[in-house]
Structure 1
Amino acid sequence: MTFTLIATTTMGFEAVLAREIKALGYKDVKVFDHKVEFQGDYRDICRANIWLRTAGRIYIKIGEFEATTFDELFDKTTALDWAQWIGKDDKFPVADVTSRKSALFSKSDCQSIVKKAVVTQLKKAHSCETLPETKASCPIRIQIENDKVILSIDSSGSGLNKRGYRAHMDIAPLRETLAAGLILLSRWRPEEDMLMDPFCGTGTLLIEAGLIAKNIAPGLNRSFCSERWSCIDSAHWRYVRQEARDLIKKDAKYRIYGSDNNARALSIANKNIELAGLPDVFVQKRELSEISSRYEQGRIITNPPYGHRLEEQPDIDLLYQEMGRVFKEKFPLWSYYVLTSCDYFEELFGRESNKHRKIYNGGIKCWYYQFFGRKS
């Protein structure tokens, strides 16, 4: 049995996610804003959660229909087979509701109607009078746009950015799924190019690069809410996890280096790197002017400071000008990939990018500037 799976992602990474999904062997892949849909079975739910680096969550589409009245919403929701996924003792919170350009615009009312409809269907399907909701969690998602309703169940639980290697959260890190997307967009070749991040902070970009280089599945060391669902045999999870362990490139050769001038951030980075099992990823305290490399070819992928307050902008502008000088002088043949909220970065950097794309980082509109060096 197959069904439609929905992998969500940050705007700007849809094509990257689609490429990931196709690399796992899926063929009927459809790309939409913020998401990619594909067909899969129970084992594929496990595989998508464990393997996809740029996905935010994996949903199972339960139904899709048009509705302009609450009666329509109730009747069409009740007609869906919720019992295939939700056991009589399982929790099923309506956890996520969005509505755009639709007659049904009240999120709270839609939430209440869908909950009532699912309860009605489950009571009938399970032949019971009450639903205690004490066991596994099956969070329901409602999306309504232009009067089209999509109902789905979240199979991930916590967002897939949670890889399990965070030692501390007191310094705001770059989101893991975003970091992985930046690396995949760069088409970095671990066996050929050194990777450097001169503003590495707590090491997210470096760690995600290391996981890619060693082919370590990002979700290998975490749990998912669907692991407790009775409809998915636990053997599927065991199989996919063992498969992922077998595919790790234990002897992979790569060169990943990071630096920062924040000693506290670097201390956390070292702990994160250790938790991620990447002893060959190195970080050290350096000012931007002090960085260098003996390698002629490589890639700098970085997320430098933005400067959110007006009084900070002059210092940020000077930093971006220094980046241009340092990169040109010390890494003339390298490729540079820079994520920043500055829309005039090229002017400060002193070079026009070969490509740039708009990406949102935690709600902040940013641009990913790509400067190609030799063999990019």
Structure 2
Amino acid sequence: MKMMQWKVRPIPLMLLVPILMFTKVCYDWQSLIVPNVRINSTAPTKATRIQSLSNDLSVKANSSKIVKPFKWLSMFKYFAKGLIHKESPWKVPEEPNDRDLQPILAHPPKVWISLSVCFSGNTKYYKKENFPYLNATQMAVELWREVANLSTVVQVVYDKDGLNAPKLEEFNTYLRNHGSLVYPIVNNGGLDCSLKAQMQRIFVSHIPEIEDDDLVVTGDVDIFPMVPNILEELRRDYNIWLFQYALSETKHETFSMSFIAMTKALWKQLLPASTPEDTIQHFLPSILDKKMTWNYDQLIVSKVILQSGLCSLDPQNRLWKRLRLEPTDPQTSDVQTCYHGYRWWDCNKARTSTSSGCMMWHFHPDERVRDLTRKFKSILNSLEHS
């Protein structure tokens, strides 16, 4: 009796791709039927997709153990994600040739990098709950001093409940010992600690060490500077510097907090209140969504900057409508007041280079202390051999 022979035919590549894409979609959509999961009413922006491959359309609320259906799909999760979201080398938009730069000042003002971090916990958005923000803050402070020779001010927000006071003091002492100005900020309970920390970096009027004419630059603790001249354009004569302006110009996004610069006096003048809590209340009826607090800082800062008239965008840019603002007169130029940045794009583990080179490194939410330490040492080693 002749045995039957089974022939295994390989799946054609053209069929494999849609299968994996369908797998990824199924895996993401399983969150829709899992209990205790709140779906975001606002989809993540394109800028968020660029910065993190781990972003999801769902934001998981605090809950006990969640049982996920479709467990058999988990074997394809990372392969499918890598296939669909793989980032290619970023092509930086070209800077307009007809935009003249302002002259370099003979005596540029002192520059402060303004950072904030929540000591009491992490945000739950975009799977960032396990990212080592405190370690990142310590390394970022050192790199801003060693690489860029710039001063930092770190506002450390903490909750009173469950506070480990000795650990907080140890953390603050470490930052001070590495050249940073440190201001502990107790969270009064009006805001989530992480949200308050996000907002706090734009409020510096209460810090006497910073002069009114000093430049205050907002930054992120999970971004490491990589080159000494990363903010060299601050020597030019502008009122506001938007280092990732091209992102807003081409993708209609809010102005990226890394990096926005203006004097301490101008920050105070543009903001409608002196605290994060009061400022959020001021904008809640118009541009802020209570269900999605992650981008409050960029929405608020973008609105006050455009309202000031010191910076502008093309009248057709969708950000005007999003912020409920009337576009400025197309004949009005901000060439003397606003620096438009085109070369400041972050590199990361999925995009290790850009067409203008790597000026900063932005970590993904799934990276841990070992990843930060490896990059920290690499940047310092490159500095020593340059």
The interval holding the TM-score normalised by the smaller chain is: under 0.3
TM-score by length of 1: 0.23
TM normalised by structure 2 equals 0.22
Greater strand share, structure number: 1
Higher relative contact order (CA 8 A, sep 6+): 2
